[in-house]
Structure 1
Amino acid sequence: MQKIPTLYEWAGGKEALENLTELFYSKVLKDELLYPVFKNMAGDHSKHVAHFIAEVFNGPAFYTKDDSGSHAKMVAHHLGKMLDEQKRKRWMELLLESADEIGLASDPEFRSALIGYLEWGSRIAVMNSTTTENPVNENEPMPKWGWGETGGPYIPY
Protein backbone atom coordinates (compact mmCIF):
# COMPACT_ATOMS: atom_id res chain seq x y z
CA MET A 1 0.00 0.00 0.00
CA GLN A 2 1.30 3.43 -0.95
CA LYS A 3 1.95 5.98 1.81
CA ILE A 4 -0.33 9.01 1.62
CA PRO A 5 1.82 12.15 1.49
CA THR A 6 1.35 14.92 4.01
CA LEU A 7 -0.16 18.20 2.85
CA TYR A 8 3.32 19.67 3.25
CA GLU A 9 4.80 17.12 0.88
CA TRP A 10 1.94 17.43 -1.62
CA ALA A 11 2.20 21.23 -1.63
CA GLY A 12 5.83 21.00 -2.71
CA GLY A 13 7.58 21.50 0.61
CA LYS A 14 9.28 24.49 2.17
CA GLU A 15 10.28 26.22 -1.07
CA ALA A 16 6.75 26.12 -2.48
CA LEU A 17 5.23 27.50 0.73
CA GLU A 18 7.87 30.23 0.99
CA ASN A 19 7.19 31.20 -2.65
CA LEU A 20 3.47 31.28 -1.89
CA THR A 21 3.74 33.55 1.12
CA GLU A 22 6.35 35.81 -0.49
CA LEU A 23 4.09 36.46 -3.49
CA PHE A 24 1.02 36.76 -1.28
CA TYR A 25 2.49 39.36 1.09
CA SER A 26 3.84 41.38 -1.85
CA LYS A 27 0.20 41.62 -3.01
CA VAL A 28 -1.01 42.45 0.51
CA LEU A 29 1.36 45.43 0.68
CA LYS A 30 -0.21 46.78 -2.53
CA ASP A 31 -3.80 46.19 -1.43
CA GLU A 32 -5.58 49.25 -0.04
CA LEU A 33 -7.80 47.19 2.28
CA LEU A 34 -5.05 44.99 3.77
CA TYR A 35 -2.06 47.32 3.63
CA PRO A 36 -2.99 49.18 6.84
CA VAL A 37 -3.06 45.89 8.76
CA PHE A 38 0.29 44.63 7.45
CA LYS A 39 2.28 47.81 6.76
CA ASN A 40 4.48 47.31 9.84
CA MET A 41 5.17 43.60 9.42
CA ALA A 42 8.74 42.43 9.80
CA GLY A 43 10.76 41.73 6.67
CA ASP A 44 10.82 38.01 7.43
CA HIS A 45 7.08 37.78 8.18
CA SER A 46 6.25 35.90 4.98
CA LYS A 47 8.90 33.28 5.73
CA HIS A 48 7.60 32.75 9.28
CA VAL A 49 4.06 32.28 7.95
CA ALA A 50 5.33 29.76 5.39
CA HIS A 51 7.11 27.88 8.19
CA PHE A 52 3.96 27.95 10.33
CA ILE A 53 1.88 26.50 7.49
CA ALA A 54 4.56 23.90 6.78
CA GLU A 55 4.43 22.68 10.37
CA VAL A 56 0.62 22.72 10.48
CA PHE A 57 0.63 20.67 7.25
CA ASN A 58 2.76 18.02 9.01
CA GLY A 59 6.11 19.16 7.68
CA PRO A 60 9.28 19.78 9.71
CA ALA A 61 9.10 22.02 12.78
CA PHE A 62 10.55 25.08 11.04
CA TYR A 63 8.31 27.47 12.93
CA THR A 64 8.68 26.13 16.46
CA LYS A 65 12.33 25.10 16.23
CA ASP A 66 14.02 27.37 13.65
CA ASP A 67 11.85 30.47 14.17
CA SER A 68 11.29 29.97 17.94
CA GLY A 69 7.56 30.29 17.31
CA SER A 70 4.53 28.65 18.87
CA HIS A 71 0.80 28.47 18.33
CA ALA A 72 0.39 31.10 21.07
CA LYS A 73 2.90 33.43 19.38
CA MET A 74 1.08 33.16 16.04
CA VAL A 75 -2.26 33.92 17.71
CA ALA A 76 -0.65 36.88 19.52
CA HIS A 77 0.11 38.53 16.16
CA HIS A 78 -3.64 38.88 15.58
CA LEU A 79 -4.66 40.30 18.96
CA GLY A 80 -6.19 43.76 18.82
CA LYS A 81 -6.00 44.01 15.01
CA MET A 82 -9.80 44.34 14.73
CA LEU A 83 -10.04 42.28 11.55
CA ASP A 84 -13.42 41.95 9.88
CA GLU A 85 -15.11 39.74 7.33
CA GLN A 86 -14.26 42.03 4.41
CA LYS A 87 -10.55 41.88 5.24
CA ARG A 88 -10.71 38.12 5.83
CA LYS A 89 -12.33 37.52 2.44
CA ARG A 90 -9.77 39.73 0.68
CA TRP A 91 -6.95 37.89 2.50
CA MET A 92 -8.38 34.58 1.28
CA GLU A 93 -8.81 35.89 -2.27
CA LEU A 94 -5.22 37.10 -2.53
CA LEU A 95 -3.79 33.92 -1.00
CA LEU A 96 -5.70 31.62 -3.35
CA GLU A 97 -4.81 33.84 -6.32
CA SER A 98 -1.16 33.56 -5.28
CA ALA A 99 -1.46 29.76 -4.98
CA ASP A 100 -2.69 29.63 -8.58
CA GLU A 101 0.04 31.98 -9.81
CA ILE A 102 2.90 29.94 -8.34
CA GLY A 103 1.37 26.67 -9.55
CA LEU A 104 0.66 25.21 -6.11
CA ALA A 105 -0.99 21.78 -6.40
CA SER A 106 -4.46 22.32 -7.81
CA ASP A 107 -6.05 18.90 -7.51
CA PRO A 108 -9.47 18.97 -5.79
CA GLU A 109 -8.38 17.04 -2.70
CA PHE A 110 -5.43 19.29 -1.93
CA ARG A 111 -7.31 22.49 -2.66
CA SER A 112 -10.18 21.32 -0.48
CA ALA A 113 -7.78 20.72 2.41
CA LEU A 114 -5.96 24.03 1.78
CA ILE A 115 -9.16 26.05 1.62
CA GLY A 116 -10.53 24.24 4.67
CA TYR A 117 -7.44 25.19 6.66
CA LEU A 118 -7.39 28.79 5.42
CA GLU A 119 -11.09 29.24 6.19
CA TRP A 120 -10.65 27.74 9.65
CA GLY A 121 -7.51 29.73 10.46
CA SER A 122 -8.69 33.05 9.04
CA ARG A 123 -11.99 32.87 10.93
CA ILE A 124 -10.13 32.16 14.17
CA ALA A 125 -7.79 35.08 13.39
CA VAL A 126 -10.80 37.39 13.06
CA MET A 127 -12.18 36.14 16.39
CA ASN A 128 -8.83 36.62 18.14
CA SER A 129 -8.34 40.06 16.61
CA THR A 130 -11.16 41.52 18.70
CA THR A 131 -9.44 40.83 22.00
CA THR A 132 -6.16 41.67 23.66
CA GLU A 133 -6.11 38.49 25.78
CA ASN A 134 -4.42 35.53 24.11
CA PRO A 135 -6.76 32.53 24.37
CA VAL A 136 -3.87 30.15 23.65
CA ASN A 137 -1.25 29.49 26.31
CA GLU A 138 2.37 28.86 25.46
CA ASN A 139 2.03 25.11 26.15
CA GLU A 140 -0.70 24.53 23.56
CA PRO A 141 0.47 22.35 20.68
CA MET A 142 0.63 23.56 17.11
CA PRO A 143 -2.51 22.84 15.11
CA LYS A 144 -2.21 19.95 12.65
CA TRP A 145 -4.14 19.72 9.40
CA GLY A 146 -4.64 16.74 7.14
CA TRP A 147 -6.66 15.69 4.14
CA GLY A 148 -10.08 16.75 5.40
CA GLU A 149 -10.74 16.00 9.04
CA THR A 150 -11.93 18.95 11.09
CA GLY A 151 -12.29 17.31 14.47
CA GLY A 152 -15.85 18.37 15.22
CA PRO A 153 -17.44 21.71 16.04
CA TYR A 154 -15.28 24.66 17.04
CA ILE A 155 -15.04 25.16 20.80
CA PRO A 156 -13.08 28.24 21.90
CA TYR A 157 -10.20 27.69 24.34
Structure 2
Amino acid sequence: MGSIPTLYEWAGDMETFENLFGKFYPKVLADELLGPVFKDMSPDHVQHVAHFVAEVFGGETLYTTKDNGSHAHMIGKHIGKMLTEPMRQRWVALLMETADEIGLKADPEFRSAFVGYIEWGTRLAVINSELTENPIGSNEPMPTWGWGETGGPYIPEGD
Protein backbone atom coordinates (compact mmCIF):
# COMPACT_ATOMS: atom_id res chain seq x y z
CA MET A 1 0.00 0.00 0.00
CA GLY A 2 1.31 3.47 -0.92
CA SER A 3 1.66 6.44 1.35
CA ILE A 4 -1.48 8.26 2.43
CA PRO A 5 -1.85 11.59 0.60
CA THR A 6 -2.44 14.84 2.41
CA LEU A 7 -5.92 16.33 2.22
CA TYR A 8 -4.45 18.93 -0.14
CA GLU A 9 -3.07 16.25 -2.47
CA TRP A 10 -6.32 14.31 -2.35
CA ALA A 11 -8.37 17.42 -3.15
CA GLY A 12 -6.23 18.24 -6.18
CA ASP A 13 -3.93 21.23 -6.19
CA MET A 14 -3.85 24.96 -5.52
CA GLU A 15 -6.13 25.56 -8.47
CA THR A 16 -8.77 23.44 -6.70
CA PHE A 17 -8.70 25.67 -3.62
CA GLU A 18 -8.58 28.90 -5.64
CA ASN A 19 -11.54 27.69 -7.71
CA LEU A 20 -13.51 26.70 -4.60
CA PHE A 21 -13.07 30.02 -2.83
CA GLY A 22 -13.23 32.03 -6.06
CA LYS A 23 -16.72 30.67 -6.72
CA PHE A 24 -17.72 30.78 -3.05
CA TYR A 25 -17.06 34.40 -2.14
CA PRO A 26 -19.36 35.95 -4.78
CA LYS A 27 -22.17 33.98 -3.08
CA VAL A 28 -21.08 35.34 0.28
CA LEU A 29 -21.09 38.91 -1.03
CA ALA A 30 -24.56 38.45 -2.54
CA ASP A 31 -25.96 36.89 0.64
CA GLU A 32 -28.29 39.06 2.71
CA LEU A 33 -26.84 37.87 6.02
CA LEU A 34 -23.15 37.61 5.10
CA GLY A 35 -22.76 40.32 2.48
CA PRO A 36 -22.55 43.19 5.00
CA VAL A 37 -19.79 41.39 6.94
CA PHE A 38 -17.64 40.87 3.83
CA LYS A 39 -18.49 43.97 1.76
CA ASP A 40 -15.16 45.64 2.58
CA MET A 41 -12.92 42.59 2.19
CA SER A 42 -9.60 43.20 0.49
CA PRO A 43 -9.15 42.26 -3.17
CA ASP A 44 -6.69 39.56 -1.99
CA HIS A 45 -9.08 37.99 0.54
CA VAL A 46 -10.21 35.12 -1.68
CA GLN A 47 -6.66 34.12 -2.57
CA HIS A 48 -5.49 34.43 1.04
CA VAL A 49 -8.27 32.13 2.27
CA ALA A 50 -7.53 29.63 -0.50
CA HIS A 51 -3.83 29.69 0.43
CA PHE A 52 -4.61 29.39 4.15
CA VAL A 53 -6.91 26.37 3.81
CA ALA A 54 -4.59 24.70 1.30
CA GLU A 55 -1.65 25.14 3.69
CA VAL A 56 -3.65 23.78 6.64
CA PHE A 57 -4.50 20.74 4.49
CA GLY A 58 -0.83 20.04 3.77
CA GLY A 59 -0.28 22.11 0.64
CA GLU A 60 2.37 24.66 -0.18
CA THR A 61 3.09 27.28 2.47
CA LEU A 62 1.87 30.15 0.31
CA TYR A 63 -0.15 31.77 3.09
CA THR A 64 2.84 32.03 5.41
CA THR A 65 5.41 32.82 2.73
CA LYS A 66 3.85 34.64 -0.24
CA ASP A 67 0.97 36.24 1.73
CA ASN A 68 3.10 36.93 4.84
CA GLY A 69 0.32 35.40 6.93
CA SER A 70 0.31 33.40 10.13
CA HIS A 71 -2.23 31.64 12.30
CA ALA A 72 -2.29 34.70 14.59
CA HIS A 73 -2.89 36.93 11.57
CA MET A 74 -5.88 34.84 10.46
CA ILE A 75 -7.31 34.77 13.98
CA GLY A 76 -6.82 38.54 14.14
CA LYS A 77 -9.03 39.01 11.09
CA HIS A 78 -11.99 37.78 13.15
CA ILE A 79 -11.43 39.75 16.37
CA GLY A 80 -14.33 42.07 17.15
CA LYS A 81 -16.45 41.04 14.15
CA MET A 82 -19.25 39.78 16.41
CA LEU A 83 -20.13 36.84 14.16
CA THR A 84 -23.29 34.93 15.02
CA GLU A 85 -24.21 31.27 14.81
CA PRO A 86 -26.68 31.93 11.95
CA MET A 87 -23.84 33.68 10.04
CA ARG A 88 -21.53 30.74 10.65
CA GLN A 89 -24.13 28.25 9.52
CA ARG A 90 -24.84 30.22 6.34
CA TRP A 91 -21.11 30.50 5.56
CA VAL A 92 -20.69 26.75 5.98
CA ALA A 93 -23.82 25.96 3.90
CA LEU A 94 -22.66 28.18 1.03
CA LEU A 95 -19.19 26.64 1.11
CA MET A 96 -20.58 23.09 1.04
CA GLU A 97 -22.92 24.04 -1.81
CA THR A 98 -19.96 25.47 -3.73
CA ALA A 99 -17.83 22.39 -3.01
CA ASP A 100 -20.55 20.24 -4.59
CA GLU A 101 -20.91 22.59 -7.56
CA ILE A 102 -17.22 22.53 -8.43
CA GLY A 103 -16.99 18.76 -7.97
CA LEU A 104 -14.73 18.78 -4.91
CA LYS A 105 -13.97 15.18 -4.00
CA ALA A 106 -17.05 13.71 -2.37
CA ASP A 107 -15.80 10.43 -0.91
CA PRO A 108 -16.88 10.05 2.73
CA GLU A 109 -13.38 10.09 4.18
CA PHE A 110 -12.33 13.33 2.47
CA ARG A 111 -15.64 15.12 3.01
CA SER A 112 -15.62 14.10 6.66
CA ALA A 113 -12.17 15.64 7.12
CA PHE A 114 -13.09 18.71 5.04
CA VAL A 115 -16.34 19.34 6.92
CA GLY A 116 -14.57 18.65 10.21
CA TYR A 117 -12.05 21.39 9.53
CA ILE A 118 -14.67 23.85 8.29
CA GLU A 119 -16.81 23.25 11.38
CA TRP A 120 -13.81 23.57 13.70
CA GLY A 121 -12.48 26.71 12.00
CA THR A 122 -15.80 28.51 11.75
CA ARG A 123 -16.68 27.78 15.35
CA LEU A 124 -13.32 29.21 16.43
CA ALA A 125 -13.98 32.24 14.22
CA VAL A 126 -17.25 32.89 16.07
CA ILE A 127 -15.55 32.51 19.46
CA ASN A 128 -12.67 34.81 18.45
CA SER A 129 -15.04 37.34 16.89
CA GLU A 130 -16.39 38.14 20.35
CA LEU A 131 -12.93 39.04 21.68
CA THR A 132 -11.26 42.44 21.67
CA GLU A 133 -7.68 41.10 21.59
CA ASN A 134 -6.03 38.27 19.70
CA PRO A 135 -5.70 35.29 22.06
CA ILE A 136 -2.67 33.79 20.30
CA GLY A 137 0.83 35.08 19.74
CA SER A 138 2.66 35.54 16.48
CA ASN A 139 4.81 32.45 17.14
CA GLU A 140 1.76 30.14 17.24
CA PRO A 141 2.16 27.51 14.49
CA MET A 142 -0.26 27.18 11.63
CA PRO A 143 -2.91 24.54 12.26
CA THR A 144 -2.54 21.32 10.33
CA TRP A 145 -5.46 19.11 9.42
CA GLY A 146 -5.37 15.52 8.38
CA TRP A 147 -7.63 12.54 8.05
CA GLY A 148 -8.27 12.21 11.82
CA GLU A 149 -9.77 14.09 14.73
CA THR A 150 -8.85 17.35 16.43
CA GLY A 151 -7.35 15.76 19.52
CA GLY A 152 -9.62 16.68 22.40
CA PRO A 153 -12.21 19.13 23.70
CA TYR A 154 -11.97 22.90 23.37
CA ILE A 155 -11.21 24.46 26.75
CA PRO A 156 -10.99 28.25 26.82
CA GLU A 157 -8.08 29.78 28.73
CA GLY A 158 -8.90 30.31 32.37
CA ASP A 159 -11.28 27.33 32.60
Structure-2-length-normalised TM-score = 0.96
Q: One-letter code of the match for 1:130?
A: E
Deviation at 1:149, TM superposition (A): 2.1
> Structure 1 unaligned runs (5+)?
none
Structure 1, residues 95-117: CA drift from partner, whole Å, max 9, x if none? 00010011110000000000000
1:41 aligns with 2:34: no
CA contact (8 A) 1:81 1:129 kept: yes
> Structure 2 unaligned runs (5+)?
none
Q: Which runs of 4+ in 1 moved over 3 A?
A: none
Aligned to 2:27: 27
Aligned partners of 1:156 and 1:114: how far apart in 2?
24
Deviation at 1:148, TM superposition (A): 1.9
Q: One-letter code of the match for 1:52?
A: F
Aligned partners of 1:71 and 1:100: how far apart in 2?
27
Structure-1-length-normalised TM-score = 0.98
Deviation at 1:150, TM superposition (A): 1.1
Aligned length: 157
Aligned to 1:63: 63
Aligned to 2:111: 111
Structure 1, residues 52-79: CA drift from partner, whole Å, max 9, x if none? 0011001110100110000000001101
Please give the root-mean-square deviation of Cα atoms over the aligned residues, in Å. 0.8
CA contact (8 A) 1:8 1:57 kept: yes
